Structure 1
């Protein structure tokens, strides 16, 4: 079992309750969402920062075992064009689990009319792996598991 730590401190929200069909219908993969209490996102696992969107609102980390985690800060926040986001790491960097990757201005995001609800997705999950969400209602960034990835015996 591989724990994927929460990139955010906040309230856990099932993916099907995310008001965006791309996430709610799992078009990008299995996962869960967090309503952040703080404006910081951290690495959910040890690995390489393989994607960091130019707008600063989304990033992906690939662990040493090849598992990828996509973190999206808020919904539709790409439209802010980077305003309110501060990069604390760069694409290609090796990250430790819990290491800060981005800061974001929660009030700026809300004032622009966007949701802070932040999906955490496992895209391109290799065959034979399953994802299980935490049963916790609240999580702490870099400390509490948000998802568990299990390789099925076969």
Structure 2
């Protein structure tokens, strides 16, 4: 089983609470979401693997088992055109769990009128493939969010 850990610190709120129907309806895949601490921080890799997709507002890491984990930094943040996000790795890089991927400030995202809530999604998975999904409570960077069989 792959353990997916939190890419940032904040409060787990579950996908159903994400203010976007694509994520809240789990159309992208099952998982959870984090309402992040409002301070400049680094979003990190939630698993060991390869960065297969990298944008200022979102990235996907695929682990050795082929599991792709999407971390989406805020909602509708693609509309910010990369403003306020600093990429710390490149597409194709191999990363370790906990390695910094993007530097950003959720408070700046909120000030720009966007939600800073961050979905963490198991791509191409079914809900029953996940176990022990965190949907509430405070989380630190690196805390377990869910297991993926």
Deviation string 1:16-50 (CA, Å, 9 cap, x unpaired) is 11111000001100010001114320000000000
Aligned to 1:45, which of 44, 47, 53? Answer: 47
Distance 2:18 2:107 in 1: 20
The residue number in structure 2 matching 1:149 is 148
Contact preservation (8 Å) 1:49, 1:59: yes
Other-structure match for 2:12: 12
How far 1:128 moved relative to its partner?
10
Q: What's the CA shift string for 1:77-131, capped at 9, x where partnerless? A: 0000000000011100000000000011223211110111000001112x79611
Q: Which residues of 2 match residues 1-154 of structure 1 at below 5 A?
A: 1-37=1-37, 38=39, 39-53=41-55, 56-125=56-125, 130-132=129-131, 133-134=133-134, 137-141=137-141, 143-150=142-149
Deviations 1:31-73 (A, max 9, x none): 10001114320000000000002xx000000001111100100
Shift >6 Å, 4+ stretches? none
Structure 2 length-normalised TM? 0.92
For the pair shown, the structure with the greater C-alpha radius of gyration is 1
How far apart in 2 are the matches of 1:20 and 1:136? Answer: 18
Extract unaligned runs of 5+ from structure 2. Answer: none
- Structure 1 regions of 5+ residues with no counterpart? none
